[in-house]
Structures are given as structure tokens and as C-alpha cells.
Amino acid sequence: MRSDKLLQRWQQWTRGLLTAACLACLSVGSTAAAHATLVIGNLSVAPDPPVPGAPLEVTLRLEDTLLVPVEKAHVRVELRAVDPEAGPDAVPASAIGSDASEFLASDPDVSSGRFTEAAVKGVYVGQVVAPAAGDYTLSVRDTTFLNEEAIANIELAVGGAANGAIAFVLPPTPIAPKSLSTWLIWLVGIPLLAGVVTTVLVLRKPAPAEQPADEGQAS
């Protein structure tokens, strides 16, 4: 009897664990999709054009490819002066952080803190002090995911003509193998161990005793 109760408890625990694993698997799938999807952005500044040495408010609007607002993003901006002799490729292409290590190694002229998410979904607001007049590479850095960051580079003029609304795209970031392997241990290893324990308990369950024949049975 005690063995039967123990077996039932193990079976209930195993079912609960498998259910939790399935839910976690769905969570991993949604995270992977977020990493694998590019983000469409729109940037505007106020005042426009920026006034050198004056506070500058930067507003970002982020949407996914289905035009759904992106919430709870960790974004900030950096400005680096454009080399006037660099030609048309003075502003680097958008990239993920691991592919832009050389560019990021140079200290920015101006950098912001993490932007604040506004009441409107997908809108983020931050402030910097506008640098000296000139052309700058403004880098939108998305560090929402610890595995990798996405960087969108656009050109911003300070003290010149108005910039208007500037569109940009944050590239998709890959999933780190280390993170994926950790999830696999939880999603596969532990339920597998629970199944082995349950199987052992079932095999060790004693067979029911045979019922003695009725003494009054006719021979």
C-alpha cells in the first residue's frame, strides 16, 4: 500500500514537471523569435535641428515586422563625430555588437543613459547634451538581450539643417549556445530523469498475492 502511494506521488510530480517543461519550452520559443526578428525604428529629436551645447531630447519608436510595438526594450544612444574624409561610407552599417567591436572601441562624443519607456507602447525617450556643430553617427544600441546587442547607425546633423524623422532597422541577434544548452538541460534532462525514476518504481512494485482457492470448491 505504501509503495502504491509513493508511486502515485512520483507520477503526479512527473506530470507536473513535464507540464512546466512544456510551458518553459514555449517561453524559449518566444525568446528565440524575438532574437531572430529585426526591429523597425523611427528616431526624432527636439529641438530640430539640435543646438550645440543645449539639451536634446531623443524619441525612439520601435515596432516588429508585424508593426506591433516593441515593449520593455533596453535602448540608449551614442554620438560619434563623422570623419569628413571618410566619404559616403562614413556612417557604419547597422550590425550586432560582436561584429562592431572596432567601432564600439572608440569613445563616443556623447552618450545617454537607458531610455525611459513612454506611456505610448513602443515609444522610448532619452536626453543628451548636443555636441559641437557637425555631422555625427548616432548609434541606437539595443541591449535588451544579454546574449548579444543590436546596433543601428544613422547620421545626425547638429547645428545645421533639420533632420526630420529618421528611419532605422535594428538587426536580429542570434541565440547564444550557452543559454540554449542550459535550457535543454532543464527541458530534457530533468524530465528524462523523472521518467527513469518512475519506471524503476513501477518495476519494483511487488506482484499482487494470489488469492487462495475456496475450500468449499468442488473437486
Q: What is the pLDDT of residues 121-162, one digit of tens each?
A: 999 999 999 999 999 999 998 988 777 788 889 999 999 889
E-strand stretches of the chain: 39-46, 55-63, 75-81, 95-96, 110-111, 116-117, 123-129, 134-142, 150-158, 166-170
Residue 186 has pLDDT above 60, yes or no: no
* Domain presence at residue 61: yes
DSSP state letters, 53-105: TSEEEEEEEEE-TT-PBP-S--EEEEEEEPPTTSGGG-SPPPEEGGG-HHHHH
For residue 44, the domain's CATH number is 2.60.40.10
Look at residue 2 and tell me if it is in a domain: no
Is residue 156 included in any domain, yes or no? Answer: yes
Considering its fold, how many domains does the chain have in total?
Answer: 1
Domain assignment of residue 218, yes or no: no
Q: Is 23 among the domain residues?
A: no
Low-confidence winner among 3-7, 23-27, 191-195 (lowest mean pLDDT): 23-27
pLDDT one-digit tens code per residue, 162-180: 999 999 998 887 654 444 5
Amino acid 115: pLDDT = 95
Q: 213 in a domain, yes or no?
A: no
Cell, residue 150: 543590436
Residue 146 in any domain: the answer is yes
What is the value of pTM for the model shown?
0.63
What span, in angstroms and rounded, lies between the C-alpha atoms of 43 and 47?
13
The pLDDT, as a whole number, for residue 123 is 95
Question: What range does the domain containing 68 cover?
Answer: 37-170
State the CB neighbour count (10 A cutoff) for residue 137. 21
State phi, psi for 198 to the nearest 5 degrees: -65, -45
Residue 130 lies in a domain: yes
